[in-house]
């Protein structure tokens, strides 16, 4: 039987409608069921008090609702909140909620781990454990609605663990779950997919009619520098990624982590400005967070500011982002790695090379 949260809201409505008809239930019941999937979610059907008890029991038996288990919640002094979700098979992924005024941005994961091994990223040090299912991606938002305070993000960014466009089979439906009026109803322009530049995935995203935003993790203005930071440059060279960005019909953002002595020189700013001019892209400049595979130095504050000024002088919209959540391991992968280290320390007889709670199985939703 189809897992009811792992299909688009329209498909779920059709499946539930057919099921209700087969049972002989009134057609209006469907209008009570569908909002409980995403719009006003319940942890289990038994909690939908507006439904008869017999129907709720049948729903829980036939159409159980998948959950992510909240393993760790950390709140930073700056308001950033990080969540570590435990999946059915013992894997774990992270989400980060970043409040700023009326804006509540949730950074979500699309893979457990990541295969790309970018030198500055903590997630890359763990390798790829597995792809997330579509419902596991969208459920990172759903779970916030199930918290006592019912947090509804205004914006969602695929900038957590993993490379979204290497999991397009699940990310595509998850985008629908996030955006659909029958789903979480987050505007397409408030949903950003971040990628290192996986060209087949970029082409698939470009075909979507919705106005989803695209962010490209650039991090270097030349192929040589990018190759030293991001091994994916060998497969998808910078020139081809920039060409794909030019073909994208919506505005593109370049994500650029400033690394001391590596990509923060005046000539780097000039080269980056040229790429941004070619693609009409804006630039997000990001301070380096600790935790990557290679020891790297954060660019000094004065140099970061000068880099931003150099871009703006060339007509580029450049935003120098503040570090958020440094006191709670808020960079991608840091909380999971810290959690695994604590688990290993608590189990002295474990082989130190064995990843905790990792069991290779085909993914499936759990009730």
94 is catalytic: yes
The continuous run of DSSP H or E covering 69 comes out as strand 69-75
Angstrom distance (rounded) from CA 75 to CA 222: 37
Q: Cα 128 to the chain's mean position, in Å? A: 15
Residue labelled with tokens 């007509």: 315
Per-residue b/e over 108-140, b at no fewer than 16 CB within 10 Å?
A: bbbbbbbebbbbbbbbbbbebbbbbbbbbbbbb
163 is catalytic: no
Strand partners, 74: 82
- Rounding to the nearest 10 degrees, give the CA dihedral for residues 327, 332, 333, 339: 30
Angstrom distance (rounded) from CA 156 to CA 140: 10
Which residue in 107, 118, 121, 332 is the catalytic one?
332
Angstrom distance (rounded) from CA 13 to CA 4: 9
Which residue in 91, 94, 163, 255 is the catalytic one?
94
- Using DSSP bridges, classify how beta strands 103-107 and 92-100 pair: parallel, antiparallel or unpaired: antiparallel
- Active-site residue set: 94, 332
């Amino acid at each position: 039987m189809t897992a009811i949260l792992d299909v688009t809201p329209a498909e779920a409505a059709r499946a539930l409608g057919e099921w209700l008809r087969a049972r002989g239930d009134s057609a209006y019941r469907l209008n009570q069921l569908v909002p409980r999937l995403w719009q006003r979610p319940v942890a289990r059907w038994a909690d939908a008090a507006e439904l008869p008890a017999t129907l709720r029991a049948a729903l829980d038996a036939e159409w159980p609702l998948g959950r992510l288990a909240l393993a760790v919640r950390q709140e930073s002094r700056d308001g950033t909140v990080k969540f570590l979700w435990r999946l059915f098979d013992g894997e774990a992924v992270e989400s980060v909620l970043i409040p700023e005024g009326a804006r509540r941005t949730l950074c979500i994961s699309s893979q457990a781990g990541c295969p790309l091994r970018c030198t500055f990223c903590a997630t890359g040090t763990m390798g790829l454990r597995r792809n997330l299912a579509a419902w596991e991606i969208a459920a990172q938002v759903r779970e916030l609605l199930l918290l006592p305070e019912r947090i509804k993000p205004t914006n969602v960014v695929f900038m957590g663990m993993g490379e979204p466009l290497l999991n397009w089979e699940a990310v595509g439906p998850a985008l629908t779950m996030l955006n659909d009026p029958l789903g979480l109803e987050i505007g397409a322009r408030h949903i950003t997919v971040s990628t290192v530049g996986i060209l087949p995935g970029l082409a698939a995203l470009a075909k979507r009619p919705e106005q989803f935003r695209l962010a490209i993790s650039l991090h270097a203005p030349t192929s040589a520098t990018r190759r030293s930071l991001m091994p994916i440059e060998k497969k998808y060279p910078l020139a081809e990624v920039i060409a794909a960005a030019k073909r994208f019909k919506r505005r593109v953002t370049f994500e650029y982590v400033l690394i001391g002595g590596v990509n923060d020189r005046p000539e780097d700013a000039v080269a980056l400005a040229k790429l941004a001019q070619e693609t009409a892209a804006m630039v997000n400049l990001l301070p380096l967070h600790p935790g990557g595979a290679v020891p790297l130095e954060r660019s000094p504050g004065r140099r970061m500011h000068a880099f931003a000024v150099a871009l703006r002088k060339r007509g580029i919209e450049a935003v120098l982002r503040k570090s958020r959540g440094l006191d709670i391991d808020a960079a991608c992968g840091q909380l999971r790695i810290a959690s695994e280290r604590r688990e290993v320390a608590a189990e002295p007889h474990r082989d130190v090379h064995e990843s905790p709670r990792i069991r290779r199985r085909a993914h499936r939703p759990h009730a």
